[in-house]
């Protein structure tokens, strides 16, 4: 993460959520493309608060535009920026729930079924407290028409967290 004297420290995951929210406010393919351009310009102009988050936002937007190879490449750049930023902060994290869930979602939407299932399963195992990881695992199972497994997973989570309405 790049910080100047007047920029406060932000938890890396916040940047990913913020970038995703920027894209979710858009409604058309042109707006997605415009936001991707803005995110790229911030990286090139060295004005991005969180380079990894900008790459993540670009990957998310490219996925929404069905440009899956571009999305995978941008996600890879986000992972590199995230890992180098984390090393500077002195932690050992190599990923985040947002990065892992987006990887599974890109593969799922691209029709790379085996990869999507592997990544969704890995995300849920790596981030057992993440509702997003669990949701992606269930969505992936549903996309693959593995309804019995999706239902069993949702039922298990309903028993574990009966107050969580999503399951």
Same domain, yes or no: 71 and 132: no
The pLDDT score that the predictor gives to residue 93 is 57
Same domain, yes or no: 105 and 116: yes
d(CA 69, CA 13): 23
Same domain, yes or no: 72 and 134: no
d(CA 74, CA 62): 9
31, 62, 93 - which closes a domain:
93
Same domain, yes or no: 33 and 79: yes
The pLDDT score that the predictor gives to residue 136 is 97
Same domain, yes or no: 56 and 132: no
Contacts of 44-48 spanning 24+ positions with Cβ under 8 A: 46/2, 48/2
47, 72, 93 - which closes a domain:
93
Calculate the dihedral angle through the C-alpha atoms of 92, 15, 103, 80, rounding to the nearest 10 degrees: -50
Same domain, yes or no: 151 and 133: yes
Same domain, yes or no: 89 and 150: no
Domain that holds residue 60: 1-93
Same domain, yes or no: 9 and 78: yes
Please write the tens of the pLDDT for every residue from 7-46.
Answer: 555 677 899 999 999 899 978 999 999 999 999 999 999 9
Q: The pTM is what?
A: 0.86
Domain count within the chain:
2
Tens-digit pLDDT profile for the chain (167 aa)? 344 445 555 677 899 999 999 899 978 999 999 999 999 999 999 999 899 999 999 999 999 999 999 999 999 999 999 998 754 444 445 689 999 999 999 999 999 999 999 999 999 999 998 999 999 999 999 999 999 999 999 999 889 888 877 66
């Amino acid at each position: 993460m790049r910080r100047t004297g007047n920029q406060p420290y932000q938890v890396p995951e916040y940047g990913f959520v913020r970038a995703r929210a920027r894209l979710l406010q858009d409604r058309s393919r042109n707006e997605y493309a415009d936001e991707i351009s803005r995110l790229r310009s911030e990286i090139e102009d060295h004005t991005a608060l969180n380079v990894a988050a900008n790459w993540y936002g670009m990957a998310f937007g490219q996925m929404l535009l069905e440009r899956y190879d571009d999305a995978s490449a941008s996600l890879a750049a986000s992972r590199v920026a995230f890992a180098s930023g984390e090393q500077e902060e002195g932690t050992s994290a190599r990923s985040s729930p947002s990065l892992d869930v987006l990887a599974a979602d890109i593969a799922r939407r691209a029709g790379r079924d085996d990869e999507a299932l592997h990544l969704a399963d890995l995300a849920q195992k790596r981030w057992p407290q993440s509702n997003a990881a669990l949701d992606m695992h269930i969505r992936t199972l549903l996309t693959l028409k593995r309804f019995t497994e999706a239902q069993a997973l949702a039922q298990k989570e309903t028993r574990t967290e009966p107050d969580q309405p999503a399951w």
